[in-house]
Structure 1
Amino acid sequence: MSRDMFYEEVEATLDGIRDDGLWKHEREIVSPQGPWVSTGGGAERVMNLCANNYLGLADHPDLVAAAEQSMAEYGYGMASVRFICGTLDAHRELEHQLADYLGTDDSILFAACFDANGGVFETLLGPDDAIVSDSLNHASIIDGIRLCKASRYRYESRNLTDLDAQLTAARDAGNRRVLVVTDGVFSMDGYIADLASICEVADRHDALVMVDDAHATGIVGPGGRGTPALHDVVDRVDIVTSTLGKALGGGMGGFIAARQSVVDLLRQRARPYLFSNALAPALLGGGLAGLTLARDGDDRRQQLTRNARRFREAMANAGFELSGEGHPIIPVMVGDASLAGEMSGRLLARNIYVTAFSFPVVPHGAARIRTQMNAAHADDDIDQAVEAFVAVGRELELIS
């Protein structure tokens, strides 16, 4: 293939994405992240219903001040990976605090949870091992598994019978170590994994259990300690991956929390850790402050739960098809990708900022508007959002 043909094919692919209504627009925000934001393109202020800012901490003054203080003390960046000259006492303090919060021996920081999931499988498992993965797991888990030489088994999402069958197949094939991996919260659908039952099935096959708790840490379970705490299986779950980029303040950074030996091996062998710059000082200060607010955040979690219940009940009563249960992710199912995009645009015109999700993020024909509640929204905000959804839903004949 010639160089010119390569670019012609790239352009053809882009044209196909546009024609299929799958083009993803990036709207510019010109204000801090929060329950209301200012966007470019003429909009004054719009209600933000599509951020992972569950506890409303992304613009919290305590986090901003802590980030500024940390940068004043340690500088702008580390300019190094951790094992050369990139480890601060603040890195270890945040790792210890995260481990204490989640009830594990230790934790290890990565640039993002995507990197954490990208490094865990290859480090811990080899060609004589097997991974049994939920079919709707996050893309970072899928990519991480692809980097590993272990055998791969996939079970139908949240189907314990199929999980048992896949574990049986993995053991019958003679695999040495078997790891079950699941999202703690399925972010496109808003469902919480039944982690207690997953652990029971795993016990029957003497399998390890890993959970990606990115959409749970800080908001799910007692004290916001995640799905293992929710299901009382903290001591049974072997590996937890999660993020600083959602409820804990919305900055960058991911981590793995596990037994000391597992964390120690990851420090020695996990490629995204060994070959990536250490987290910047500002992220460490903000992360510690966000974790402190999350620890003491029962009032925020209660408000988040009330907001989610208020929105879900009103939308269901209006006739919308909703996905999920028991979580502030509340997808509004649309089906057609172009229609979802049109709905998103019309809602923005009514000062409601939401995003249409379509293939490849979700399956063909399952496009949706994924709404996410925020503890900083008031009752009037939720009611205003529902009112806008109802008006647009009727315009597009999604509801009567």
Structure 2
Amino acid sequence: MQRPALIRIFLVFLRLGLTAFGGPAMVPFIRARTVEREGWLDEPTFSLGMSLTQLLPGATAMQVAAYVGLRARGGAGALAAYVGFGLPALLLMLGLTVLYFSARDVAAVTAAFTGLQLVITALILDAAVNFARRYLDSLADKLLACLAGVWLGLRGNPILAMAVVCVLAVFLVRDGQCGLPEPREGTGRGPLRFAGLLLASLLALLAVLWLVAPELFRLGLLMVKIDCFAFGGGYVSVPLMLHEVVEVRGWLTEPMFMDGIALGQVTPGPIVMTGAFVGYAVSGLAGALVAAVTVFSPSLIVLCAATPFADRLVRSPVARRVLKGSLISLVGLMAAVAVRFALSIHWTPGQALLALAAFAALRLKVDILWVVLAGAGLGAVLF
């Protein structure tokens, strides 16, 4: 296998990041570029990475990118891949966020975001249906998902719901239900040192913020917590962020939070990049940058620390059941968020028709980007 230059890793993933719409749907493109074209990894090694990233918190495509960089060039390669893959989404999110907060009083912009809120409600509902069809295999699964959804509907803490469902899943879920690929050969222990370095850097950043900018410290600490519990991919961040940002702290209203998710769908990259939108709303550009760094750092640290033990981790029945529990809870949490968003909209017949059309388009596998752009355009014209 080739040992690429760090700048090569960065540029390859920067190009991939420019078209990284659809979250986990980017994984086959990452495989085609890095395994087949570049020859940085062989197929068994890449398969192990896909298995591992499903067990760990964080946005799936971002984690796979970091894993490829880690195996190709160690810790520095992981960082180059991670930054390259996420940079286009961050820059576009920052630009659109600045425009959003500077043009919120313009009637056409307000109407466009009305359409986007309808699309985002349909998008979250579509995601809940997709996850339910994929992960709810038994009556126990469905009951656990309902438990998580009802708890969030009652304004309960979604992290507590996830924890309870994961514990129950250890006893109620069968190994054959977890749906993970067969594990492959493990890796060396080199990435542990890099994980320690990243952890020390993150703690140092939080310590400095605690001393000089308490508001940014609270923002960063919240984003760290959200990322640490984002098992099952970036969509898990939606109910967690909604609870903490809207209900607990009141930094955003629910419609504004929906607008942030809409911008996250217009831009490439993971939906958790909505954290940069939240950070900008709290503390401007500094807040956006702090949120972006802290909402992605923990999952990268965990990936680097876990890679040396990948083989044992993906073979662990307990780990696989805990993962299944997190995915079950995600179904209920996403369904509850869809209901919350729907209840926050003042419905008219035209809005209901647009939302139904968006949901139908998503069920027919129309590209998310086109659905979002169509929703914004029709919203600006009709509302």
Q: What TM-score do the two structures reach when normalised by structure 1? A: 0.25
Q: Which of the pair has more CA radius of gyration?
A: 1
Normalized per residue, the structure richer in helix is 2
Normalized per residue, the structure richer in strand is 1
